[in-house]
């Protein structure tokens, strides 16, 4: 049993690869015998694919886990007779390697009520679930909206994922001030030997990996598709760094 948990929020531009890293990292933590809760805070969820759960899951919290509340955002909140720990143990879905998975649910073209109902409740679970025997990995929606609304506030540290493109660097410049209230480390994903973006020195580099890219295109978990690939090796090293953190909470 672990002595204490790490609480990580992943942010970045769409397409930067944060869901792949978050899902792989969650499973690698679990393979070390740790209790891990992985949470997808994107209304177009992709974390379940990176966890190796495939598609077709509606996810989101069931009706009994939420209640209407006029003063809450979107008019819903976590049911008053439930604690965050009870929600995790009752409603989090089992994922590979023993990871537990929660999601705000998927927005459908003609039905927006369910995800709106789950958003506040899932955020309440994240903020209130403080069991030191668990790691928590949150995959935020791409872009600035969720960092602006402080979806990352549950975490102890933020991993800002960038790739070599200029658009990724531009998004990072917009996101960084919104999450600077927590320790932030830059993860350079799909690194191809090019210099770091100006002002964004990488704490960790995950190399460009054709096998991992192929897995993502196929909706597969890279950890299952190419477990010994360079990208997986780099993410495993990231896990080790996170578990040996310095006093500021940044990867060593």
SS3 67: strand
Mean pLDDT of the chain: 90
Domain boundaries, the chain: 7-243
Q: What percent of the chain has pLDDT over 70?
A: 90
Kindly indicate the confidence band of residue 2, based on its pLDDT and cuts at 50, 70 and 90.
Answer: low
Instruction: Give the pLDDT confidence score for residue 114 in this predicted structure.
Output: 52
Kindly indicate the confidence band of residue 247, based on its pLDDT and cuts at 50, 70 and 90.
Answer: very low
Residue 65 has pLDDT above 60, yes or no: yes
Question: In terms of Cα–Cα distance, which of 219, 227, 224 is closest to 46?
Answer: 219
Q: What DSSP assignment string belongs to 188-248?
A: EEEE-SPPPPTT---SEEEE--HHHHHHHHTT--HHHH-TTSHHHHHHHHHHHHHHSB-TT
Question: In terms of Cα–Cα distance, which of 36, 38, 52 is closest to 223?
Answer: 52
SS3 249: coil
Residue 251 DSSP class: B
70-122: pLDDT as tens digits:
877 778 889 999 999 999 999 999 999 999 999 988 755 444 555 577 888 99
Strand 100-103 and strand 93-94: the pairing is: antiparallel
Kindly indicate the confidence band of residue 63, based on its pLDDT and cuts at 50, 70 and 90.
Answer: confident
195-225: pLDDT as tens digits:
999 999 999 999 999 999 999 999 999 999 9
pTM of the model: 0.92
Question: In terms of Cα–Cα distance, which of 247, 244, 243, 216 is closest to 232?
Answer: 216
Rounded Cα gap, residues 244 and 217, in angstroms: 33
Strand 76-78 and strand 66-68: the pairing is: antiparallel
- Tell me the backbone φ, ψ of residue 20, rounded to 5 degrees: -60, -45
CATH of domain 7-243: 3.40.50.300
Measured in whole angstroms, how far is the alpha carbon of residue 164 from the centre of its chain? 21
Instruction: Give the pLDDT confidence score for residue 164 in this predicted structure.
Output: 96
Identify the residue with better confidence: 214 or 44: 214
Instruction: Give the pLDDT confidence score for residue 239 in this predicted structure.
Output: 98
Q: Helical H runs in the chain?
A: 18-31, 47-50, 84-91, 113-128, 145-148, 166-179, 210-217, 222-225, 230-243
SS3 50: helix
Rounded Cα gap, residues 104 and 38, in angstroms: 12
Query: Which range among 24-38, 83-97, 176-190, 237-251 shows the weakest confidence by mean pLDDT?
Result: 237-251
At residue 236's C-alpha, the angle toward residues 235 and 241, to 5°, is 90
Q: What is the mean pLDDT of residues 119-144?
A: 94
């Amino acid at each position: 049993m672990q002595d204490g948990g790490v609480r990580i929020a992943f942010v970045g531009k769409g397409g930067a690869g944060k869901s792949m890293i978050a899902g792989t990292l969650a499973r690698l933590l679990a393979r070390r015998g740790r209790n891990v809760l992985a949470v997808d805070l994107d209304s177009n969820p992709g974390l379940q694919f990176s966890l190796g759960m495939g598609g077709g899951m509606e996810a989101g919290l069931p009706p009994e886990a939420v209640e209407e509340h006029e003063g809450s955002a979107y008019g819903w909140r976590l049911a008053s007779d439930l604690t965050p720990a009870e929600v995790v143990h009752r409603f989090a879905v089992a994922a590979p390697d023993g990871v537990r998975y929660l999601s705000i649910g998927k927005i459908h073209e003609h039905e927006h009520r369910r995800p709106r109902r789950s958003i506040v409740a899932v955020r309440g679970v994240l903020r209130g679930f403080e069991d030191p025997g668990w790691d928590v990995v949150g995959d935020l929606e791409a872009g600035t909206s969720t960092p602006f609304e402080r979806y990352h506030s549950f975490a102890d540290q933020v991993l800002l994922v960038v790739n070599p493109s200029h658009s990724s660097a531009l998004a990072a410049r917009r996101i960084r001030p919104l999450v600077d209230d927590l320790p932030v480390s830059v993860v350079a994903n799909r690194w191809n030997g090019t210099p770091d973006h100006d002002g964004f020195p990488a704490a960790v580099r995950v190399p460009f990996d054709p096998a991992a890219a192929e897995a993502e295109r196929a909706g597969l978990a890279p950890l299952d598709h190419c477990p010994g690939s360079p990208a997986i090796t780099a993410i495993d090293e990231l896990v080790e760094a996170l578990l040996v953190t310095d006093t500021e909470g940044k990867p060593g």
